[in-house]
Amino acid sequence: MTEADTTPGSQSALRQANERRVVDVLRRDGTRTQAELARATGLSAASVSNIVRGLRAAGTVAVRDTSSNGRRARAVSLLRPPGTVVAVDFAPGHVRVALGDSAGTMLSRESIAYDAAADAERAVRRAAWLAETLLLAARIDLGTVSSVVASVPAPLDPDTGEVGEISGLPRWTGFRPAQALEERLGVPVRVENDANLAVLAERESGAAQGADHIIHLVLGEGVGAGVVVSGELFRGAGGTAGEVGHIGLDPRGQVCRCGNRGCLETFVGSSYLLGMLPPHAGPLHGPGPVGVADLVDAALAGDPGCRRIIDEAGTALGQGAAIMANLFNPDRVVVGGELARADALLMVPMRRAMEMGALGSALRRLTLARSALGDQAILRGALRTAARLAG
Ligand SMILES: [Zn+2]
């Protein structure tokens, strides 16, 4: 999908704006006659009639004959209850948007390849454009959207909504994405950490169903964790709970971007893994830059170097997870992200390292599982959260 395809021209943009004025009046005042709508919006009777015809065809309004002051009139009522929710996912490689109904069930979604990390303001503009495009395609007026939840791979200050320092979006530090999106869309926006949204989705309909004490590890450029304790999301005092990528594993290891050495991230983060590739790794010599997906494919195809890299990542992940297990005594540990696709190549050494590093009693009730929702988890979690906020 390209931006130019669906950018509304001035005619359709004007029509959208007029439709919105009509829907706004119906939301605020309830059922109105066409004459009343014309008075309330300042549009001509012919324009209102035209707009109502379009809204009726789209299933947004119902029209019935009635009388007003003894004259025949047409009464217009809003049919689709205001309650559409929107999810936005910002990541270093993409901006994604999904629409959901008032229960948070996904209606449609779209993704654009875009480096959200490069520029926060521009990423917000892209996301707003993508949301408006999806709404336009679904013939849903922005005025009927009740709530928006956006995801960032970063810790967020619970008081100010500012993006924290060490994150997957380093240039967003101090930026307030909720405020910026709200100014663009005119709808209440809540921003949440990506792993927090993913763990909510996995608990509701994925690999963490039935569990009350969950650690969901999200592997990417860094390692994030969504932590659920006694059925509740655990954010910590300043919103940085779950930044497990900076658990120190080796004081003589590589220097991490946080300033410490040998953090978990330096063993499993995408860039570190790709940096370990041998110079002549056969199966990886395709066109375009090599990514973790290629590493996993090559390992699954039997490449010994790639297998070794993933095996060691699994061991480090297990050492980190063992520390978390001793702390939280979870009943479910879920592993998500591209690397999780390596399945047993990652999970077997991970389990072994957990058994070596954690108390037996900390693991007794624990199930280790791969994410069931994959890259859908964040958007699904965001839609459900938006629906709850609206409800
Ligand atoms: Zn670190």
CATH number at residue 42: 1.10.10.10
Judge if 267 and 361 occupy the same domain.
yes
Q: What CATH number corresponds to the domain at position 162?
A: 3.30.420.40
Joined together, the tokens standing for residue 142 give 């922005």
Helices (H), the chain: 3-6, 10-29, 34-41, 45-57, 120-137, 177-185, 194-205, 265-268, 270-275, 292-300, 304-328, 344-357, 360-363, 377-390
Q: Which of 78, 112, 131 is the last residue of a domain?
A: 78
Residue 379 lies in a domain: no
Between the CA of 227 and the centroid of ligand 1 the distance, in Å, is: 19
Q: How far is the CA of 236 from the centre of ligand 1 (A)?
A: 18
Domain shared by 175 and 235, yes or no: no
Q: With H, G, I as helix, E, B as strand and everything else as coil, classify residue 370.
A: strand
Residue 305 CA to ligand 1 centre (angstroms) = 25
Q: Is residue 390 part of a domain?
A: no
Q: How far is the CA of 45 from the centre of ligand 1 (A)?
A: 64
- Full-model pTM: 0.78
Q: Are residues 351 and 234 in the same domain?
A: yes
Q: Could you say which of 78, 100, 117 is where a domain stops? A: 78
Do 269 and 213 lie in a common domain?
yes
Ligand 1 center to residue 218 CA distance, Å? Answer: 16
Q: What is the pLDDT of residue 1?
A: 38
| Assigned domain for 338 exists | yes
Cβ neighbours for 197, distance < 8 A, ≥ 6 positions apart? 149, 151, 226, 377, 378, 381, 382, 385
Res 60: pLDDT: 78
CA 264 – ligand 1 centroid, Å: 7
Range of the domain at 74: 3-78
Instruction: Give the per-residue pLDDT at 390.
Output: 80
359 and 266 housed in the same domain: yes
Question: Rounded to the nearest whole angstrom, what is the distance from the C-alpha of residue 97 to the centroid of ligand 1?
Answer: 30
226 with 168, same domain: the answer is no
Give residue 210's pLDDT: 96
Q: What angle do CA 233, 239, 243 make, to 5 degrees?
A: 85
Q: Are residues 112 and 26 in the same domain?
A: no
**Which residues 6+ apart lie within 8 Å of 109 measured at CB?**
96, 97, 98, 99, 134, 379
Under DSSP, the state recorded for 276 is T
From ligand 1's centre to the CA of 265, what distance in Å?
Answer: 6
Residue whose pair of structure tokens reads 């006659």 in the numeric block = 33
Task: Please check whether residue 35 lies inside any domain of the structure.
Answer: yes
CA of 339 to the centre of ligand 1 (A): 19
145 found inside a domain: yes
CA distance 335 to 323: 16
Q: Which two tokens stand for residue 129?
A: 């454009």
- Interstrand relation of 189-193 and 145-152 (parallel, antiparallel or unpaired): parallel
Domain edge (last residue) among 193, 227, 250: 193
Residue 323 CA to ligand 1 center (angstroms) comes to: 16
Asked if residue 10 belongs to a domain, the reply is yes
**What are the tokens at 232?**
């509740």
Indicate whether 389 belongs to any domain: no
pLDDT means over runs of 10, the chain (391 residues): 44 81 84 93 94 84 84 82 87 93 91 92 96 90 88 91 87 95 92 95 96 96 94 90 92 94 96 86 64 92 94 98 95 96 97 96 94 94 93 72
Q: How many whole angstroms from 222 Cα to the centroid of ligand 1? A: 9
pLDDT of residue 227: 96
Query: Residue 41 to residues 22, 63, 319: CA-CA distances in angstroms?
Result: 7, 18, 63
Q: Ligand 1: distance of its center to the CA of 380 in Å? A: 29
C-alpha 154 – ligand 1 centre gap (Å): 14
Same domain for 366 and 339: yes
Number of domains composing the chain: 3
pLDDT at res. 3: 36
Q: Is 186 found in the same domain as 230? A: no
Q: Based on the domain organization, do 238 and 335 belong to the same domain? A: yes
Q: How far is the CA of 207 from the centre of ligand 1 (A)?
A: 28
Same domain, 250 and 354: yes
Whole-number Å distance, alpha carbon 263 to ligand 1 midpoint, is 5
Statement to judge: residues 38 and 94 lie in one domain = no
Let me know if residue 279 belongs to a domain.
yes
